[in-house]
Amino acid sequence: MTGDIQFDGHGRLRHLLTIEGLPRQTLVDILDTAESFISFREREIKKVPLLRGKTVVNLFFESSTRTRTTFEIAAKRLSADVINIAVSTSSTSKGETVLDTIRNLEAMHTDLFVVRHSLSGAAYLIARYLPAHVHLINAGDGAHAHPTQALLDCFTIRQLKGGFDKLSVAIVGDILHSRVARSLIHALRILGAPDIRVVAPKTLLPTAVETLGVRPYSDMEAGLNGVDVVVMLRLQRERMRGALIPSEQEYFNLFGLTPDKLAHAKPDAIVMHPGPMNRGLEIDSAIADGPQSVILPQVTNGIAVRMAVMALILGGSPADEGRRG
């Protein structure tokens, strides 16, 4: 559905709304571009003038300090002007519609919106009404998609594992409500990962989840057996309806990642988490802070990946800037 609207008439990325349906080369281009930005963080002056004169608006209808901050840092490192809108105190709380808010911000010569919303499909709805010169990045919409999180996860996996064609990846936790899981599954499939597993109580697995190209497990030890990558998901308390788990303690006993459970994965397996973590619920602190955890590198890589997406959408050339810098 969103595949066509994400590209302009010349086949260039116009919006990033979802991973689903994107060509493999688009994902590779984003990962390669992010790689070119990694070295910038070692410089004394970390800014490059790729987006000088551009205006980026972070419009978050749902709070997320980590994602908003990394988008802000990414845009500022590209020399864009950045505006953060506190939606809870803006005109939307006085009855203004989302599209009214967007149109008013468009009138201020916004070039790129970064939008997070609690409703699935909100980013797609907004993108349909944007003029051709205005772009949008989906920073998470309901339980639907979180494309830049999937991209930074894939970037981290590629950085540490070298590629995807022989990888076994287990995604553990609240698959049913997780936009992170959906986007990551699509990305891993597009990039050629042959073995993608989802591990969760049956109440937290979507109906017919196998149609996504994954293997479901309701036993943690079997699901982690021999995997290269373990991706733990936050338990989505705010999106859950009804008693989908018996208790938090039982959930941790069965599906929380502990040293004993991780021992079933490969010895060099890496552990990932999109954050924020619920320690003692989905992950033991011994794992979160342990040698196999790459949770903090994920955050660092998120800046480079978001720089890459902004640069490609707004037409920058990071390789040229790197040579000039």
Least confident span in 44-48, 71-75, 160-164, 310-314: 44-48
pLDDT in tens, 76-131: 999 999 999 867 645 554 446 888 889 999 988 999 999 999 899 999 999 999 99
Contact 265, 224 (CB under 8 A): yes
Active-site entry in 146, 158, 197, 261: 146
For CATH 3.40.50.1370, list the domain ranges present in the chain. 24-145+300-324, 147-295
The confidence score (pLDDT) of residue 178 equals 92
Reduced to 3 states (helix: H, G, I; strand: E, B; else coil), residue 293 is: strand
Which of 12, 41, 52, 66 is an active site residue? 66
The radius of gyration of the chain's CA atoms, rounded to the nearest angstrom, is: 20
Structure tokens at 7: 């590209």
- What pLDDT score was predicted for residue 325? 41
Say how far apart CA 265 and CA 73 lie, in whole Å. 35
Is 324 part of the annotated catalytic residue set?
no
Assign domain 24-145+300-324 one CATH number from 1.25.50.10, 1.10.580.10, 1.10.357.10, 3.40.50.1370: 3.40.50.1370
Helix (H) or strand (E) segment spanning residue 196: strand 195-199
Residue 12 is among the residues annotated as catalytic for this protein: no
Higher pLDDT residue, 78 or 238? 78
pLDDT at 27: 98
- Regarding the domain with residue range 147-295, which homologous superfamily does it belong to in the CATH classification? Aspartate/ornithine carbamoyltransferase (3.40.50.1370)
Mean pLDDT of 290-303: 96
Cα distance between residue 94 and residue 71, in whole Å:
27
pLDDT at 14 over 60: yes
Active site residue 77: no
Which one from 14, 77, 116, 158 is the annotated catalytic residue? Answer: 116
For 145-185, what is each residue's pLDDT tens digit? 999 999 999 999 999 999 999 999 999 999 998 999 999 99
Task: Give pLDDT, residue 247.
Answer: 78
Locate 128 and state its tokens.
């349909």
Is residue 318 pLDDT above 60, yes or no?
no
Average pLDDT, the chain: 90
**Active-site choice (94, 241, 323, 324):** 94
**DSSP state letter for 203:** G
* Dihedral over Cα of 296, 298, 301, 302: its sign: negative
With a CB cutoff of 8 Å and minimum separation 6, the contacts of 103 are: none
Given the residues 26, 33, 67, 110, the one annotated as active site: 67
Among 200, 197, 196, 268, smallest CA distance to 228 is for 268
Range of lowest pLDDT (67-71, 165-169, 270-274, 316-320): 316-320
Kindly write down the DSSP assignment for every residue of 62-92, as one continuous string.
S--HHHHHHHHHHHHHTT-EEEEEEGGGSGG
Instruction: Check: CB of residue 84 under 8 Å from CB of residue 58.
Output: yes
